[in-house]
Amino acid sequence: MRYKSTLGRDIREIARKRGITLYRMAKDLGIANESLLRSLKDDANPEWKTIKKILGYLGYEIRVVKKKR
């Protein structure tokens, strides 16, 4: 069996482990709850600014690093 990870699933898991509900996160970020839920679906394609805002709220950031050859 192959495990498939998605950014939305990982974010939901981080929030769950920290005891943060998605409703609370949406309220704190000023995002409509329905919009947050849609952004974190497994097959979602959220805007970069939304993901950046959510990750910042959780204390994370994404860095792009050039691959070593």
Tokens at 13, concatenated: 């898991």
Model confidence over 29-56: pLDDT tens digits?
A: 999 999 999 999 888 888 889 999 999 9
Report the C-alpha gap between 11 and 57 in whole angstroms: 11
Give mean pLDDT, residues 3-9.
74
Domain positions in the chain: 7-58
Can you give the pLDDT at residue 43?
Answer: 83
Q: How far is CA 40 from the centre of its chain?
A: 6
Q: pTM higher than 0.95, yes or no? A: no
User: What CATH number belongs to 7-58?
Assistant: 1.10.260
Give ∠ CA 62-66-55 in degrees, rounded to 5.
0
